[in-house]
Every structure is written in C-alpha cells, then in structure tokens.
Structure 1
Amino acid sequence: MRAIFLDRDGVICENRSDYVKSWREFKFLPGAKQSLAALRYLGLPIVIVTNQSAIGRGIVSADVVEDVHYRMSAEIQAYGGLITGVYYCPHHPEDRCDCRKPQPGMLLQAADALKIDLSQSYMVGDAATDLIAGQQAGCHPILVLTGRGLPQLPRALGSVRKQFTITRNLMQAAGYIYRMERQSIQNKQRDEIDNVQPQEFGLLAGNL
C-alpha cells in the first residue's frame, strides 16, 4: 500500500519561529484543507510526520501538541479530508534520536504500523530535512515552496541525492501526486492487457 507523508509546519499550517504553542496559534495555510480533501479521493493513507522539539525544549507539553493534532485532524475531516495518522518527534535536536527528521524513523514507524510500501510513497515537506528523511526511507520527495521551502531550496539541491519534485504549495503537490497515481493506474492496466495470452482473447471473444 502506498501513502502520502506530509510535514506539518510550512506545508499544512504556518511555520512560526516561536513554535505553535496552542490551537489558537495554529493557522492553516491558504488552500491546505482543500488540498487534503482532494487527496482523499486517491484512497491513499495521509500521514503527518512532524518534528516538535518544542516539547524537548520545555516550551510546550506533549498534551498540548496532541490536542492541536486532534483539532487539526477534526477540522480537516470536516472539510472532507482524512488524516490516517500523526507521528511527531518530541526530542531536542541534541538528543540525537532516530525519529527527528532528517532521520527516517517516523516514516519507518508508520510504514510498519500501516503496512506501507515506502518505495511507492511520497514525502511532502518544506525543508531539506523532510526530503532527506523521505529519501532515506525510499519515498519520492516533494518540496513545497511555502513555509521555509524557498530559502531551503539551495540546501535541498545540494544535499538531497535522490531526484525530487518542486511545487509551489500543497495544492500543486496534490495535483502532481494525482497525475502520478493516474499514470501508475494506466501503466498497470496496460501491463495487464499486454500479459493476456492470445488464447485468453479467444475465450473472451467466445463468451460474448
């Protein structure tokens, strides 16, 4: 099963330099909810993977972060989208954990829990660390230019070894993923037709 992994801050909501410390400070980016509603039609799990070092820094509690995620998911669902899961890293950068992006730990954890084929999945983020995490997990990385995306572009070009896609925002990323999935379905159908043996065509014709 394929999936769509999304960073949170700078992709779905505004990226604050002082961290999102409450639901009141959480602001959806323009078009984010519409994009998530559109992605639901693909039938793929949508999984958010986000670094939340404000917990490890003692700025905000894990309970507050989870409340923000609960409210965020509920509002997205009310708009027609559906978040399959939210994974967050609470650690301070100096903790050197294996879940803080650019480490792929959160993606690997989600893949194990949800039986996701990472090699056929997407990772959408606004920072080089998001793309590197996706790359290490085997996903197709997509950089959005919202949030930190534009200033992070030179770093991404210099540090991400795997080819990645650049889109203006989540809406454009959703359109790109939709086209890729449609192409994948068409290729699969074409392969199925090519694999049908001549005698099978005869049987099909005889049944008409």
Structure 2
Amino acid sequence: MSVNNKKIVFIDRDGVINFDSPQYIKNEDEFVFIPGSAEAFGLLKDNGFETIIITNQSVIGRKMVTSEGLEKIFSKMRTGIIESGGRILDIFFCPHVPEDKCGCRKPEPGLLNMAKEKYSVDMSGAYMIGDTAKDMLAAERAGVGRKILVRTGSGVKTLDKIKSGELNTPDYIADDLMAAVKWVISDGTGLI
C-alpha cells in the first residue's frame, strides 16, 4: 500500500500519547492518555495526515507483557483515538531489550525504514513526534524531514541534551502532542 499522496506523521507512544512509567506500561489499565493526545489524532485526520506509531516495547523482551497483552494495550489506544475522531494507519514496535542490539530499537532507524518500505513513504516529507533523544536520532537516521520534540514524558530531560550539544535541535519543541500537531498542520514548508 502506498501513501504517496498523503502526509505522514510518525508518533512515539509512551510519554507522547500516554503517560509513561519507570515501571513500564504493562496492561491496558496502566495506559492513560495524556490530555488532548487522542484528540490530536482527529485533528491530523481532518487535515489529511496519516499517522503511524513507532514505539520501543521492551516489555515483551523483558517478559513483563505477552504479545497478546501488548495488543490489548494497543487496542485501548486505537479505540480512544477512533472515539476522538482519529485513526492510526499502522503500529510498528520493537519488542527487544537494549542488550539485543537489534536494528529496530530506536535510536536505530529500523522501524521507520520498515514503515517507509511498507507504505512507500517519502521520508523527507514526513514528520516525527517524540519525547526522547532516541526518537529524534531514529528520525534523523531515517531521513525524516521534520522532527518535533514534546515536553511531556522524557521531553524535559531531552531538552537538557539539546542544550548541552549532545543532540541536534529538533525543528520544533512543543508542550504536548496537541501543540505539536497544531504546528505540523500550520507548517508552511509545503512538505508532502
């Protein structure tokens, strides 16, 4: 399936769509939307954007959640987004732990490259919204055109890495997903 005529926004999950936890999100009850995040998907859909979730989910590799359990969490996320008028085109996730040294765990670009291949995405015209250095680095390595950092989740810590020069400055820094989406929609670059 090609989405060549659609504008693509890649979005990280934990800390961007839902509140993150140092103990990980292990079941659907622990998945709680950050206010405005589900509605942000509706705004994207209404403005002609497709959204693809790009997320590290080491809870699988850590044996804290089964594949079925992760799907229940994803189902709750999808349902909340649909009920808010949005949709998710696809979800790409890495089940590995860092020690596996796989090519799909962010900051590696593997998940983004899989999405690019499956949907024939013009990465130079795509957006990535995330809260961590891993999100920004993966997007940079995959050639994503615009990188947006949100201050939710680990965003404030990531800002420190930007200020210290450890990380390139993203194209935009937003308070949360809704603010990031409003910037994407108003971005006058003409990137498609």
TM-score by length of 2: 0.91
Aligned to 1:123: 128
Inter-CA distance 170–85: structure 2 relative to 1 (3 Å threshold):
same
State the structure with more CA Rg.
1
Cα 1:58–1:144 change in 2 (3 A) is same
Cα distance in 1 for residues equivalent to 2:143 and 2:156 = 24
In 2 relative to 1, CA 156–54 (structure 1 residues): closer, same or farther, beyond 3 Å? Answer: farther
Instruction: Give a deviation string over 1:29-58, Cα, whole Å, max 9, x none.
Output: 011111111111122220001001111111
In 2 relative to 1, CA 84–64 (structure 1 residues): closer, same or farther, beyond 3 Å?
same
* Greater helix share, structure number: 1
The 1:50–1:162 alpha-carbon spacing in structure 2 relative to 1, beyond 3 Å, is same
CA deviation after TM superposition for structure 1 residue 159, in Å: 3.3
How big is the shift at 1:74?
1.8
Aligned match of 1:173: 180
From 158, 163, 186, the equivalent of 1:152 is: 158
What is the DSSP-based 3-state SS (H/G/I as helix, E as strand, rest coil) of the residue aligned with 2:88? coil
Is the 8 Å Cα contact of residues 142 and 173 (structure 1) preserved in structure 2?
Answer: yes
Distance change (3 Å), C-alpha of 1:156 and 1:87 = farther
Query: Structure 2 matches for 1:80-91, cutoff 5 A?
Result: 80-91=85-96
Q: Is the contact made by 2:136 and 2:170 (CA closer than 8 Å) also made in structure 1? A: no
Count matched residues. Answer: 185
Q: Tell me, which stretches of 5 or more residues in structure 2 are unaligned?
A: none
Q: Name the aligned partner's letter for residue 62 of structure 2.
A: R
Task: Please state if 1:67 is matched with 2:72.
Answer: yes
Q: What percent of counterpart residues are identical? A: 37
Higher mean C-alpha displacement, 75-84 vs 162-171: 162-171
Deviations 1:112-164 (A, max 9, x none): 11111111100100001100001111111110000110122121442334643
Shift of 1:96: 0.2
How far apart, CA to CA, are the structure 2 residues paired with 1:60 and 1:23?
Answer: 11
Match of 1:142 in 2: 148
Q: In structure 2, what is the Cα distance between the partners aligned to 1:37 and 1:29?
A: 15
> What is aligned with 1:108?
113
* Higher RCO (Cα < 8 Å, 6 or more apart): 2
CA distance in 1, matches of 2:53, 2:85: 17
TM (norm. structure 1) is: 0.84
Q: Of 90, 96, 103, which residue of structure 1 is paired with 2:101?
A: 96
Measured against aligned partners, the alpha-carbon deviations of 1:75-113 in whole angstroms (never above 9, x if no partner) come to 211110010001110001000000000001101101111
